[in-house]
Structure 1
Amino acid sequence: MGTVLFAVAAVALTALSLHGLLVRPRLTADPRGLRIRTTTGKHDLHWPEVTARVRTTRRLGRDSATLEIEAGDQLYVFGWLELGADPRDVLDTLTALKP
């Protein structure tokens, strides 16, 4: 039983590691717009179609901030782990880049 549990945990950890390697960087920005990478591919968004905001929620006694990027009917949500920085700082950078 312990061997099976260990094998399942090893496969799950390997899958998560591969996902993290293949989909990075998740978000890149330049003066033309944003590029978002997901498991389904790359999405190029131009600034006029993008709305970005930081949403703060309280969970398990802690405040957690996420960056929400809305484009049309799509909503992309990024946490600190995906961004590698505080979502508030990333929003400030995106605001400075947006024409």
Structure 2
Amino acid sequence: MGTVFFAVAATALTALSLHGLLVRPRLTADPRGLRIRTTTGKHDLHWPEVTARVRTTRRFGRDSATLEIEAGDQLFVFGWLELGADPRDVLDTLTALQP
């Protein structure tokens, strides 16, 4: 039973590691707009169609911030792990790039 549990855990860890390597960077921005990479492909968004905000929630006694980017009927949610920086700082950077 221990061998089966170890094999399942190792497979899950390998899959998560590969996903993290293949999809990075998840979010890039320039004066024209945003490019978001997901497992289904790349999404190029222009600034007029983008709404970005930071949502803060409290879980297990800790505040957690996520960056939400809305474009039409699509919603992309990024945490600290996907961004590599605090979502508040990323929102400030995106606001500065937006014309």
Indicate the percent of aligned positions where both proteins have the same amino acid. Answer: 95
- Post-superposition, which runs of at least 4 consecutive aligned residues in structure 1 deviate over 4 A? none
- The CA deviation at 1:70 is 0.2
- The CA deviation at 1:12 is 0.2
For 1:36-75, list aligned pairs within 5 A.
36-75=36-75
- The CA deviation at 1:31 is 0.3
Q: CA–CA distance in 2 between the matches of 1:90 and 1:72? A: 21
- The CA deviation at 1:55 is 0.2
Q: CA–CA distance in 2 between the matches of 1:24 and 1:59? A: 26
Q: CA–CA distance in 1 between the matches of 2:87 and 2:57? A: 13
RMSD value over aligned CA atoms? Answer: 0.3
Instruction: Quote the residue 1:79 is aligned against.
Output: 79
3-state SS, counterpart of residue 35 of structure 1? strand
Query: TM-score scaled to structure 2, two decimals?
Result: 1.00
For structure 1, the residue ranges without an aligned partner over 5 or more in a row are none
- CA deviation string 1:39-58 (max 9, x = no partner): 00000000000000000000
Q: CA–CA distance in 2 between the matches of 1:22 and 1:40? A: 12
Q: CA–CA distance in 1 between the matches of 2:75 and 2:59? A: 21
Q: CA–CA distance in 1 between the matches of 2:18 and 2:86? A: 23
3-state SS, counterpart of residue 76 of structure 2? strand
Query: TM-score scaled to structure 1, two decimals?
Result: 1.00
Q: CA–CA distance in 2 between the matches of 1:98 and 1:10? A: 42
- The CA deviation at 1:10 is 0.3
- The CA deviation at 1:86 is 0.1
